[in-house]
Chains A and B, each alone.
Chain A
Amino acid sequence: MSPSAGTRQPEEADAALVQKARSGDLESFGELVRRHERTVQGIVTRMIPSPDDAEDVVQEVFVSAWQGLQRFRGDARFSTWLHTIAVNATLKRIRQMRRHGQVSLDDPESGTAERLAADTAGQPFEQAVSAEEKAAVRRALQNLSDNHRMTVVLYYFEEHPCEEIARMMGCSVGTVWSRLHYACKKLKQELRDIRGGDGAAGARVERPDA
Chain B
Amino acid sequence: MNCRRARHILMQEAAGALDEKRSRALRGHLERCPACAAELEDLREAGRIFGRARAPLADPSPAVWESVRERIQAPTGRKNVPARRPLMWGVAASFAAAALAIAGYFTLGTFTPQGGLDSPPAALQSIAPQEAPPPHVREPQPPAQSAEGSPVTAAEKSSLAQAKVPAAPLPVARRSSATPPSRPHRPAASRPAPEAPPAAVVAWSLPAAPVTEEGRGGYADTEAAGTTRDFHLRSRAVSDHEKRSEGLLLAEPPGEGPAAAWAGGGEMSAAVAPAPDELEESARALEMVYTSPDGRARTILDY
Contacts and interface: CB of A to CB of B under 8 A. Distances in A.
Given A63-B181, A170-B222, A209-B4, A147 B280 contact: yes
Interface in A164-210: 167, 169-172, 174-175, 177-185, 187-188, 191, 207-210
Nearest to B61: A55
Contact of B85 (A52, A70, A185, A191): A70
A9 interface: no
Contact of A67 (B117, B248, B254): B254
B55 A93 contact: no
B49 A67 contact: no
A99 to B, nearest CB: 5
A75 B239 CA distance: 13
B57 A68 contact: no
Contacts of B54: 126, 156-157
Nearest to B280: A145
B12 A208 contact: no
B46 interface: yes
Interface in B102-134: 116-120, 134
B34 interface: no
Contacts of B246: 68, 71-72, 81, 84
Contact of A156 (B4, B50, B80, B116): B50
A66 B71 CA distance: 10
A75 B250 contact: no
Contacts of B71: 59, 63
Contacts of A117: 53, 55
Given A38-B60, A62-B68, A68-B246, A53 B251 contact: no
A59 B17 contact: no
B189 A134 contact: no
B82 A59 contact: no
A76 interface: yes
A133 B52 CA distance: 10
Interface size class of B (residues with CB under 8 A): 35 or more
A199 to B, nearest CB: 18
B277 interface: yes
Contact of B222 (A29, A59, A72, A171): A171
A47 interface: no
Interface size class of A (residues with CB under 8 A): 35 or more
Contact of A209 (B42, B87, B119): B119
A44 to B, nearest CB: 10
Given A99-B195, A169-B222, A178-B281, A118 B72 contact: no
A76 B245 CA distance: 13
Given A24-B80, A68-B246, A171-B226, A93 B45 contact: no
B68 A59 contact: yes
A21 B9 CA distance: 42
Given A172-B227, A188-B45, A209-B118, A145 B283 contact: yes
A129 B207 CA distance: 59
Given A133-B49, A175-B282, A185 B61 contact: no
B53 A133 contact: yes
A133 B188 CA distance: 37
A33 B64 contact: yes
Contacts of B80: 24, 26
Contacts of B243: 75-76
A30 B43 contact: no
Contacts of A33: 64-65, 68
Given A53-B189, A56-B185, A185-B43, 16 more contacts: A24-B80, A26-B73, A37-B60, A58-B64, A59-B71, A66-B68, A68-B246, A81-B246, A115-B55, A120-B53, A125-B56, A137-B50, A172-B227, A179-B280, A181-B43, A210-B120
Going nearest first, the 3 A-B pairs with the smallest beta carbon separation are A118-B55, A184-B46, A84-B247
Interface of B: 3-4, 7-12, 14-15, 17, 39, 42-43, 45-47, 49-58, 60-61, 64-65, 67-69, 71-73, 78, 80-85, 87, 116-120, 134, 181, 183, 185-190, 193-196, 219-223, 226-227, 243-244, 246-251, 254, 275-277, 279-283, 302-303
19 contacts: A21-B82, A33-B64, A59-B68, A59-B71, A63-B72, A66-B82, A81-B247, A99-B195, A120-B53, A137-B53, A175-B226, A175-B282, A178-B117, A178-B118, A181-B43, A184-B46, A184-B50, A207-B120, A208-B39
